[in-house]
Chain A
Amino acid sequence: DTEVTQTPKHLVMGMTNKKSLKCEQHMGHRAMYWYKQKAKKPPELMFVYSYEKLSINESVPSRFSPECPNSSLLNLHLHALQPEDSALYLCASSRIVGETQYFGPGTRLLVL
């Protein structure tokens, strides 16, 4: 089973709202990733967690706050977003960093 689940599937939020995206995997993977994907573009890496510790932050604005409460769960907390943050947010996991990444279905975010 190579399933990564993400909730919610769709999210609409105002610029003053606080919301969270959730990602879960039960494959025993110890690396988890957040990507942002705009229309007609490849995914852009945002964050990498390795063994529940943040190992890479690709200069992402502080209005995006990742959290890895345990080895199966990855959250992305959103606050004071801008309309240009509207995108598909993808979560992925791999056994360890550098190995094959398996992606979730994504959360489609619209910021009004």
Chain B
Amino acid sequence: AQSVTQPDIHITVSEGASLELRCNYSYGATPYLFWYVQSPGQGLQLLLKYFSGDTLVQGIKGFEAEFKRSQSSFNLRKPSVHWSDAAEYFCAAASGGGSQGNLIFGKGTKLSVKP
């Protein structure tokens, strides 16, 4: 079955430190991959997406993600975290059209930022 796994439920980093959030997927073929961020009580904001091509993807707010086919991973990174980055982060995948185009979400990683 298709699935997306975010191994870390909660991560705490100090402001200014680097960040990496992990995401692994299990699909028959390489899916489309996404990272969304959600602040408390808000909707989901798209940070970045990968469809094909360059495996290092740049997104908004200084985030980037690297697609590694050999590891079935799509990890999110940021070189220097700001207090405003504290939020829930969801990795998601979709494959093709029809019902295969439905997003499958990971369970999310909550990011806390220490001053």
CA distance A56 to B96 in the complex (A): 15
A42 contacts B by Cβ under 8 Å: yes
CB closest residue in chain A, given B108: A42
A1 contacts B by Cβ under 8 Å: no
* Complex interface residues of chain B between 98 and 115 (CB less than 8 A to chain A): 98-103, 105-108
Q: Which of B19-27, B36-44, B70-78, B79-87 contacts A (4 or more CB under 8 A)?
A: B36-44
Q: Is the CB–CB distance between B97 and A90 below 8 Å?
A: no
A100 contacts B by Cβ under 8 Å: yes
Given A98-B96, A100-B34, A43 and B105 contact (CB-CB distance below 8 Å):
yes
Q: Is the CB–CB distance between B97 and A97 below 8 Å?
A: yes
List the count of A-B residue pairs having beta carbons below 8 Å apart.
Answer: 57
CB contacts (< 8 Å) of B95 on chain A: these are 98
Q: Which of B36, B90, B102, B107 has the most CB of A within 10 A?
A: B102
Task: Report the contact-size class of chain A (Cβ under 8 Å from the partner).
Answer: 20 to 34
Q: Is the CB–CB distance between B94 and A98 below 8 Å?
A: yes
A45 contacts B by Cβ under 8 Å: yes
A102 contacts B by Cβ under 8 Å: yes
For A93-112 the 0/1 string (1 means CB < 8 A from B) is: 00011111111111010000
Q: Select one of A6, A96, A98 contacting B100, CB under 8 A.
A: A98
Known: A42-B107, A97-B98. 6 other contacts (CB 8 A): A4-B43, A55-B98, A90-B43, A97-B97, A98-B96, A103-B36
Give B contacts to A, CB under 8 Å.
Answer: 32, 34, 36, 41-46, 49, 90, 94-103, 105-108
Give A contacts to B, CB under 8 Å.
Answer: 2, 4, 6, 40-43, 45, 48, 55-56, 88, 90, 92, 96-106, 108
Lowest 8 CB-CB distances: which A-B pairs, in order? A98-B101, A42-B105, A98-B97, A103-B44, A105-B43, A103-B43, A97-B101, A106-B43
